Structure 1
Amino acid sequence: MSLFDLTGKVAVVTGSTRGIGEAIVHRMAEQGAKVVVSSRKADACEKVAADINAKHDGAAIAVPCNISEKADLQRLVDTANETFGKIDILVCNAAVNPYFGPSKDIPDEAFDKIMDVNVRSNHWLCHMVLPQMVERKDGAVIIVSSIGGLKGSPILGAYCLSKAADFQLARNLAVEFGEHNIRANCIAPGLIKTDFARALWEDPDILKRSTADAPLKRIGLPDEIAGAAVFLASPAGAFMTGQSVVVDGGATIA
């Protein structure tokens, strides 16, 4: 058996119709997992699920979900359980950032939205899934954070604050549920070529400045984050918990 084999596992991945989340569902399905594709837009979910099923018949279902709504999250979990019988892997990937600028100017509603979606929704979803993992004595929780949670920022203060909280959420879950053979880890991507970060890579000059100090001198690709997710979900990552895997081309160490 491959150390990265996910045969027989079921993964729920939020924000999985584009970018990092889409790469994760494709790569987990490639390794044998059944995957639940989820984002706010039903048509986008259906498209990604259809693309996966064209290669791996019956491997994917589409479940639209607004993660800021607790009832929607419960429906996501219930549908996954009804369809596949269980959830072995939870990937909290969906996030928002409605504000760019100094923290002193952020409107209260923008601050609340960032914390609600990026932190509270992850907390809700994890605790909707964890009881069945406890019962089976097996499970992997992966939270996609950001290197923004490791550094200060003059324009992304609240977003970075939320991502730092996600690191702590994973650590707390690791401590609370480790005795049940449940692992919780974060991935901290650097600059990745996604729509979410388009403003930082679409213009060649901005991209050059954005990557100038990183040892690899380039932007990352969604698949390069998906590989880390597969590792954390698979037997290869069975002894890792409470950690933050930084995948940033070296940006944080240079």
Structure 2
Amino acid sequence: MRKSWTGKHWLTGLPVTVNVEDGRVTAVEQTNQLTADRWIAPGLIDVQLNGIGGFDLNGTDVTVDTVRQIVKVLHQGGVTRFCPTIVTGPRERMLHCIRTLAAACETDPQVAHAVIGIHVEGPFISPEDGPRGAHNLKWVRDPDWDEFLEWNEAAAGRISKVTLAPERPGAIEFIKRLRQLGIVASIGHTAASEADIQAAVEAGVTMSTHLGNGAHPYIKRHPNYIWAQLAE
């Protein structure tokens, strides 16, 4: 099947036509055709999405259709791929949400393509006000590898990223195990010292989740956990 779209190139602003055959781009050509306000650009990627458009990925009522609707909303805004993000919650609710995401991927090819992998943000984060952000304190807990294995089983191996605070007991060993499985370990919602952050990097951390968002209202000018992460 052949299709074509015309719009302004996202870098040059010049009108171009994109030709597609059997789902693959075959040519991007300049054109004199009027394009109105349509733009042609690579698809955007969102690596941390808890919900959008009134649809929540973290509720007890999340369904496969919820995930489908989220993908539709994302596509309207040019986001073609994303990491659905499950946040700190009771063990069973987190497992339910993860299982639902896996079921959506297994039953809907469009969802399966859109989902890069599942991101679990928490519950292994700082309990302190500020760094904890909006995560509920009563569900914050220490890293537990057995709990992670439950997540990954529920996800059918689709966990791609875990955000945690490296200062929590057991976090460094947990990071090492994630790295062995090829899963991204990311620092987030942390009140870590410089030494904690350096140890996490040596263990395999490669990312920070919304750096500076989960933080105390006031921090020392230096050293602090924001500068320490930026330095890495």
Normalised-by-shorter TM-score class? 0.3 to 0.5
Structure with the higher helix share, 1 or 2 = 1
Structure 2-normalised TM-score? 0.38
Normalising by the residue count of structure 1, what TM-score does the alignment of the two structures yield? 0.36
